[in-house]
């Protein structure tokens, strides 16, 4: 998989890819992530990438020309399966979208800023608009980092224990059951006996029941779906 990220703040996006499992995925050659600073595609001598909005109103808008120039450059080098725009008015990211995107080969992620990008860029280039939740961020960069993490960890070979993504919360529309490790007793609290019984059928049944109980209690909306 190859991900190209177009941003006015590449520094904000560096550290997630220089730590933990994202770094390992890149080192293993399972994913390539390339940052493109929109300012490098600005045409006037002030390296301007934003401008006032027509019709008036507070806030700047990212100009179409630099973004278009960057999109054209990238698209001439390879074909892209998805060109994603990170924006609070996109569809809310969920596990199903992450699963779908983890199967793509080449993706561009465009990070919005200020009041966003000129609508014509969205009409011309964007195949999917993604929000990471119902709150406003200062820019799409942190959303892009969240999206990349959600996608990249699903690529086969990225997680050490290949089965562990399968038992994540949401992967079967349920929250994950409680987990325990040693010691068997901590501050008077014991690990549920079934987990130390060695009876794997019973353990599976307990985990499923706990997953349902937890989901019904915390996220009943997940049980109403499908």
| Residue 16 interacting with ligand 6GU (CB under 6 A) | no
Whose tokens are 């706990």? That residue is 210
Contact predicate 143/105, CB 8 Å:
no
Q: Report the largest interatomic distance among the alpha carbons of the chain, rounded to a whole angstrom.
A: 71
Query: Quick one: which segment of 2-10, 36-44, 138-146, 152-160 binds ligand 6GU (CB under 6 A)?
Result: 138-146
Which parts of 117-136 interact with ligand 6GU (CB under 6 A)? 131-133, 135-136
- Nearer Cβ to ligand 6GU (16/112): 112
State which residue has the least CB distance to ligand 6GU: 143
Strand boundaries in 132-202, DSSP class E: 185-186, 189-190
| Residue 7 interacting with ligand 6GU (CB under 6 A) | no
| Residue 177 interacting with ligand 6GU (CB under 6 A) | no
Hey, what are 15's tokens?
């550290």
3-state helix vs strand vs coil in the chain, percent to 5: 40, 20, 40
| Residue 89 interacting with ligand 6GU (CB under 6 A) | no
**Whole-number minimum distance, CB 133 to ligand 6GU, in Å?**
5
Hey, what are 134's tokens?
């119902």
Q: How far is CA 206 from CA 142, 169, 186, 211, 224, in A?
A: 37, 16, 21, 9, 22
Tell which one of 139, 145, 177, 215 touches ligand 6GU (CB under 6 A). Answer: 139
Tell which one of 112, 117, 153, 158 touches ligand 6GU (CB under 6 A). Answer: 112
Chain residues in the site for ligand 6GU (CB under 6 A): 86-88, 112, 131-133, 135-137, 139-140, 143
């Amino acid at each position: 998989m190859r991900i190209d990220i177009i941003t006015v703040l590449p520094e904000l996006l560096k550290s997630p890819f220089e730590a933990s499992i994202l770094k390992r995925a890149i080192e293993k050659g399972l994913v390539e992530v390339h940052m493109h600073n929109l300012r490098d595609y600005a045409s006037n001598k002030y390296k301007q990438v934003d401008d006032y909005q027509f019709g008036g109103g507070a806030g700047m808008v990212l100009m179409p020309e630099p973004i278009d120039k960057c999109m054209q450059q990238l698209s001439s080098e390879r074909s892209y399966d998805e060109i994603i725009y990170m924006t609070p008015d996109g569809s809310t990211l969920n596990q199903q979208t992450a699963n779908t995107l983890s199967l793509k080969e080449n993706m561009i992620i465009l990070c919005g800023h200020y009041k966003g990008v000129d609508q014509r860029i969205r009409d011309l280039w964007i195949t999917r608009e993604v929000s990471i939740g119902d709150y406003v961020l200062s820019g799409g960069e942190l959303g892009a980092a969240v999206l990349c993490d959600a996608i990249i960890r699903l690529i086969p070979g990225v997680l050490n224990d290949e089965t562990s993504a399968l038992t994540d919360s949401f992967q079967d529309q349920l929250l994950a059951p409680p987990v325990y490790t040693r010691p068997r007793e901590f501050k008077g609290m014991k690990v549920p006996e079934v987990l130390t019984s060695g009876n794997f059928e019973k353990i599976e049944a307990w985990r499923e029941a706990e997953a349902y109980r937890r989901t019904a209690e915390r996220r009943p909306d997940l049980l109403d779906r499908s």
